[in-house]
Structure 1
Amino acid sequence: MTRFTIRAVAELAITVGLVLAAFVFYLLVWTNHRTAAAQDDLRDDFHAQQQAGHHRGAGKVEAPKSGDGFGILHIPALGKKWSWVVVEGVSEDDLAKGPGHFPGTALPGEVGNFAVAGHRATHGEPFAELDKLQVGDPVVVETVDGWLVYDVTWVRILSPSATEVLAPVAGHPGTKAEQRTVTLVTCNPRWSSTERLVVGAQLVERRSADAGPPAELG
């Protein structure tokens, strides 16, 4: 191997290394930073909606538009300060802002299945530790009008093609929903997409905004 060839190979290796380092920085740092900034803006907008809703009185909440935030998800088992604004939609752009609501599934508190997807790695990693949830753990959804407390009823590892978990009765397409539920979906394992980690929960309490946060968030 000539000196020129050795130098060319060395320069190529350095270039590849720099490109990989930049890509890792983008994934692990920059996407998290951008998502955090988006969440700050969404949280400010949500609190403004709360104030407006409080002054005009409770009413029917309009269906959110793609990318809009419309509720805050709290999961105490993942930390006392764990909370994420949920946006409408599950496109790449939507999920870059935070957990996203599957269009066509129920909204929080409605009869049916309020289904939410979230990244487990990059873009803020909202569902990074979703595997820690166990049956009985509370999942709290803060809305403009109040609070909804769901209790986890099942946790499963499924294939990416298991879209039946988005049915009105999760896992049972064609069955008429009678309960109010939430389904959380993310990739499994954490840095792969070969499987899906899915958590199901059922509504156990509804509180008005005036009643204050539920005990689970105390």
Structure 2
Amino acid sequence: MRRAVSVLGELMVTAGVLVLLFVAWQLWWTDVTSGRAQAATVAELQQEWSADRPATPAPADPAAPVAPDVDQTPPQGDAFAILYVPRFGRDYAVPIVEGTATDDLKEGIGHYDGTAMPGEVGNLALAGHRVTYGKPFNLIADLQDGDAVVVATADRWFTYRVRSEEIVSPRQVSVIAPVPDRPGETPTEAWLTMTACHPMHSARQRYVVHALLESVTDRSAGPPASLAAVG
């Protein structure tokens, strides 16, 4: 009996250690590896975009609809834009990849399939982790009305301004409708919606931020004023 109890105790200790190692891997190591990979993707995109290419003029009305820089939906998992959020820090720059599957969100911020592309009328809907895998939306709840959310593509800077926040059920998919929270309504403006699990370390709800397009500028003109510190 004593031997059985001793063996059981050793097994429980081993199991506890394995659980702790798994938690450390999930919460720390995935941040390290995904963070490095995402930073490398950002650097690759910036290098690719820095190559000489004709600039695409921005529309006279900065809030007018524009033709997307990408002619069609990128292949799933491909990075096609970079997200900058000054509220998250001057060094914050995360790739936006097509798709919101588990593997896609390891590579950066996911673009919901079928939603608008940057600058288009409709709703550019994005998903990101608050913990693990680089945790790009870790500080989403810190965003305030009026904060800038900037999307960079090969040719343009799109500056959105935060308009509202809400906490919803994961089943409330109307938050990513072309007009947020108004399914079936025809859009006339360009929105950006960011979604992340809520509360922290839980998938019970979603924290959602909506932002409205304020301006569109050519990349050749340099970053918008809200990103002056980013460069």
The TM-score bracket by the shorter chain reads over 0.9
- Determine the C-alpha separation between the residues in 2 that align with 1:172 and 1:74: 27
- Determine the C-alpha separation between the residues in 1 that align with 2:148 and 2:182: 23
> Are the equivalent residues in 1 in contact too, given 2:55–2:218 (CA < 8 A)?
no
Q: Which residue of 1 aligns with 2:169?
A: 159
Q: Which residue of 2 aligns with 1:55?
A: 53
Give the gaps of 5 or more residues in structure 1. none
CA RMSD of aligned residues (A): 1.5
Once structures 1 and 2 are overlaid, which stretch shifts more, 7-16 or 195-204?
7-16
Once structures 1 and 2 are overlaid, which stretch shifts more, 188-197 or 8-17?
8-17
SS of 1:42's equivalent in the other structure is helix
Q: Which residue of 1 aligns with 2:199?
A: 189
1:91-130 superposed matches below 5 A? 91-130=101-140
TM-score w.r.t. the length of structure 2 is 0.89
Question: Would you say 1:146 and 2:156 are equivalent positions?
Answer: yes
Q: Which residue of 2 aligns with 1:213?
A: 223
SS of 2:19's equivalent in the other structure is helix
Q: How many residues align?
A: 216
- 2:50 maps to a residue whose letter is Q
Q: Which residue of 2 aligns with 1:36?
A: 35
- 1:9 maps to a residue whose letter is L
SS of 1:135's equivalent in the other structure is coil
Question: Would you say 1:74 and 2:84 are equivalent positions?
Answer: yes
Cα 1:60–1:146 change in 2 (3 A) is: closer
Which one of 172, 176, 180 corresponds to residue 190 of structure 2?
180
Q: Which residue of 1 aligns with 2:213?
A: 203
- Determine the C-alpha separation between the residues in 2 that align with 1:37 and 1:154: 31
Higher relative contact order (CA 8 A, sep 6+): 2
- Determine the C-alpha separation between the residues in 2 that align with 1:116 and 1:131: 15
How far the C-alpha of 1:60 sits from its partner, in A, is 4.2
Identity over aligned pairs, percent: 39
Once structures 1 and 2 are overlaid, which stretch shifts more, 63-72 or 108-117?
63-72
- Determine the C-alpha separation between the residues in 2 that align with 1:139 and 1:180: 13
CA offsets 1:144-165 (integer angstroms, 9 cap, x no match): 1021110001000111111011
How far the C-alpha of 1:176 sits from its partner, in A, is 0.5
- Determine the C-alpha separation between the residues in 2 that align with 1:37 and 1:76: 20
Q: Which residue of 1 aligns with 2:19?
A: 20
TM-score w.r.t. the length of structure 1 is 0.94
